[in-house]
Amino acid sequence: MYQLEETFYFYILFIIPFMIVGFILLSSWKKNIQKKYISENLLKVLSPDRSTFKPKIKLFFLILFLLFSTIALVNPKVGTELKTVKREGVDIVFALDVSKSMLAEDIAPNRLEKAKRIVSELINTLNNDRVGIIAYAASALPILPITDDYSTAKTFLQSLNTEMLSSQGTAIAESINLAKKFFDNEDQTNKVLCILSDGEDHEIENQNIIQLAQQSGITIITVGLGSQKGSPIPIKEKNIVKSYKKDENRDVVITKLNKDLLSSISSSSNGIYVDGSNTEIVVESIFERLKEMDKKEFESKQYVAYKDQFQWFIGFAILFLCLELFIFEKKTYWVKKLNLFNEKS
């Protein structure tokens, strides 16, 4: 396990492409000047020791010096002591609907962004709990397995979008089945699935979602996003609405919140339904429900001691700087005398 202390210094590496481009432009300029004022044969006579290969080697060592110096400034640390830590908490998997209907803007800024904001704020309130993330539309996709790394969870959360799954729909049943595989202990009583959706499940006629929720052994919390009045699905280009999604009859599609379905799923699994309009109320309601649950003790391994490794990279940086300084732009005659390629004199 490792840590990077000052990742800001990685921006220094943007200098390297400019160094390479500058070297190419300078070399090209020198050649043009030489061709303009002196012939190649005369140049060989006047500068017999000039090497065309050595400047490239010097540039290479200079780039390595900059690379290792930057890594030294970032100061990577390596974990040296791994301990097993016992914690008490709840395992909660967030299943976010990423179907096109979640782009509807009847809840600001849109349903999907609201869902991501709710989950992010909820993660901020958690303590000693583990989280996982699922994205689903017509099928369910595992995004992040159960973890206690909240910063990583937030990073994966922000990457969710409606282009992740090509097939459209809202297969809630698939998200429930996938969530069951996330929990590593079938006997634990603190398994929670938080579904954030508009509940517009087009496959419901072929599924018995309520029965599936009852038999899952998971406490399912549902968050309804959208309005029961409904809203069109905007099609944007550079954040400007160009048109709205239409059906095969060229009529504008109106997507509505299916509150009844989401409420039935949560009530059948000893969970709660929360309207997603107000982020603060949603977070408070879910947090209070989690507090009421039995906290299961689980073990997790984590590094508790880290050792700085910057000195190794400083050493390599100094080495490559010395090599760059002690290599001159002249031909090395002792290498030529070795006659490595058996060239005739």
Q: Which residue is listed with tokens 């179907």? A: 99
pLDDT-based confidence at residue 275 (cuts at 50, 70, 90): very high
253 and 153 within one domain:
yes
Q: How many domains does the chain have?
A: 2
Are both 122 and 231 inside the same structural domain? yes
Say whether both 235 and 146 belong to one domain: yes
In the block, tokens 């209907």 appear at: 101
What whole-number percentage of the chain has pLDDT above 70?
Answer: 81
Asked, as a colleague might, if the bond just before 17 is cis with ω within 30 of 0, I would say no
CATH of the domain at 293: 3.40.50.410
Rg (CA), the chain: 31
List 234's β-bridge partners, or say none.
Answer: 244
48 and 156 both lie in a single domain: no
Nearest of 253, 273, 239, 318 to residue 100 by alpha carbon = 253
Going by pLDDT thresholds of 50, 70 and 90, the confidence category of residue 305 is low
- Give domain status of residue 174, yes or no: yes
- Are residues 103 and 230 located together in one domain of the fold? yes
Task: Quote the CA–CA distance of 33 and 7 in Å, as a whole number.
Answer: 43
Residue 221 and residue 253 share a domain: yes
**Are residue 36 and residue 185 in the same domain, yes or no?**
no
pTM for this prediction = 0.63
111 domain-assigned = yes
- Contact call for residues 190 and 217 (beta carbons, < 8 A): no
Residue 342 included in any domain: no
First and final C-alpha spacing in the chain = 57
CA distances from 331 to 14, 47, 51, 55, 75 (A): 32, 10, 5, 11, 38
Identify residue 42 by its one-letter amino acid code.
Answer: L
Same domain (yes/no): 109, 218: yes
Domain hosting residue 27, numbered range = 2-75+309-337
pLDDT in tens, 62-104: 999 999 999 999 988 876 666 666 667 788 999 999 999 999 9
Query: Is 87 exposed, middle or buried, given 0-12, 13-18 or 19+ CB atoms closer than 10 A?
Result: middle
d(CA 82, CA 79): 7
Q: Is residue 149 included in any domain, yes or no? A: yes
